[in-house]
Each structure stands twice: as structure tokens, then as C-alpha cells.
Amino acid sequence: MKYKTKNRDWIERYFAAHADERARAKDIYEKMTADGLSINMATVYRNLDRLEEENVLKAYKTAGEDEKFYQYMRPGMDCGSHLHLMCSRCGRIIHMDIGLMNEISEYVINEYGFTIDCGHSVLAGLCRECQMKSEDKKGKMIHA
């Protein structure tokens, strides 16, 4: 029985330590293997599915990506009721944990009769750091 929960614990610990990053099943597989665990993809998927059912992780796919990504649901952060911003370059996740979220949801319901499913929605874009990096490059190119 202990053996069964070992992989699950590893995965949960990994996501908790990288709470603002997303990971695919194969990323987890590679990291577990690198950590000396003998595991196969089926076990990784099974554990990820279970953690998703238990609301420890959130799984989503963005347009143009064919593999699911998993993200840690920070306890107490109520990730099901706010939107998430995802940097399409570095994969960073930003929790839009703002008071405005209720207003946005209400507005969308009133205006369009549409209920936003925050748990399955993510807004893609570029984070501040990645924007600065591309600004740097632009700057250098101009001055070069």
C-alpha cells in the first residue's frame, strides 16, 4: 500500500514546489525518472488523473497544444473561481485572484448570458519577464 502512494506523493510535492509552473505528463515522467524512481507513463497518467479528481491539480489544454497541462491548485486560493493567465513562452501561471473577477463574471452573465468556467479556462499571453526579454532583444538589434 505504501508503494502505491509513493508516486502520488512525489507528484503532489513536485507541483506544490513549482506552484506557478505547468507540467505535462511526460515532463513529470522525465523528472521522476531523473529522481531515480522506476515508473511508466501509464502510472504517471493514472496518478495525475487521480490528483485532478481530488482537485489537487487542474488540467487544461490551450489552442494549438495537443497535450494536457497540469497545474497545482493552491489550497485556499479557490482556483475554480478565478481566471489564470498563462505565459505561452515560459509556461508561468498567474492567478488572477482579484476582486474584479466577480464583476467580470457578472458582467459576462448579464451581457452575454454566458457563465465562465474558470476551472477550464486560461488566458494565453506573455508574462512581464518574457516581454522584457523580447524588448531587450529588440533594443539590441536597433543599437547593433
Taking CB under 5 A as the rule, does residue 87 contact Zn ion?
yes
The least distance separating Zn ion from the CB of residue 79, rounded to whole angstroms, comes to 3
97: left (phi over 0), alpha (psi -120 to 50) or beta: beta
Q: Which listed residue (11, 79, 83, 122) binds Zn ion by CB under 5 A?
A: 79
- Cβ within 8 Å of residue 52, ≥6 positions away: 58, 59, 70
Tell me the three cell numbers of residue 53: 479528481
Residue closer to Zn ion by CB (options 31, 95) is 95
Taking CB under 5 A as the rule, does residue 57 contact Zn ion?
no
Contact 92, 131 (CB under 8 A): no
Q: Which listed residue (8, 18, 24, 89) binds Zn ion by CB under 5 A?
A: 89
- Site residues, Zn ion (CB under 5 A): 77, 79, 87, 89-90, 92, 95, 127, 130
